[in-house]
């Protein structure tokens, strides 16, 4: 029972490089979210998806792009990484339709941009 899996777990990028973070869930959840966690800021929503082929902006979307080509996968892309994007990134998924279902989280990706 994998749940939500994030790849990679750690990454160091140079300023200007690009990368893609992969989130995969095996629970057939409709909703998927990408958050970033910074000290003192809690978890801030970057982008989210309410189903295959759909994406929407969250609280801090600038500098990131996402895609949901398959229901089980939600990709977060950084086209030109900046030091301000150094953070821990979490992916989460949840059922849709009601507000009473918990979100399941991946283990996080620690990204450092130098």
Partner 1 sequence: AQKITQTQPGMFVQEKEAVTLDCTYDTSDQSYGLFWYKQPSSGEMIFLIYQGSYDEQNATEGRYSLNFQKARKSANLVISASQLGDSAMYFCAMREKEGGSEKLVFGKGTKLTVNP
Binding site for partner 1 (CB under 8 A): 31, 33, 35, 40-45, 48, 50, 56, 58-59, 88, 90, 92, 94, 96, 98-105, 107-108
* CB 110 to partner 1: min, Å: 8
Which are the contacts of 31, defined by CB distance < 8 A and separation ≥ 6?
48, 49, 50, 51, 93, 94, 95, 96
Query: Is the Cβ–Cβ distance between 1 and 99 less than 8 Å?
Result: no
Return the SS3 of 85.
Answer: helix
* CB 11 to partner 1: min, Å: 15
* CB 84 to partner 1: min, Å: 18
Choose between 80 and 96: whose C-beta lies nearer to partner 1: 96
């Amino acid at each position: 029972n994998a749940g939500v899996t994030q790849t990679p777990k750690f990454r160091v990028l140079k300023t200007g490089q690009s990368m893609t973070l992969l989130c995969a869930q095996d629970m057939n959840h409709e909703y998927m979210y990408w958050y970033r966690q910074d000290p003192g800021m809690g978890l801030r929503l970057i982008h989210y998806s309410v189903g295959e082929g759909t994406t929407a902006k969250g609280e801090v979307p600038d500098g990131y792009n996402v895609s949901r080509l398959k229901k089980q996968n939600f990709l977060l892309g950084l086209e030109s990484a900046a030091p301000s994007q150094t953070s821990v990134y979490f992916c989460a998924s949840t059922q849709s339709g009601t507000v009473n279902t918990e979100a399941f989280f991946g283990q996080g990706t620690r990204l450092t941009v130098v």
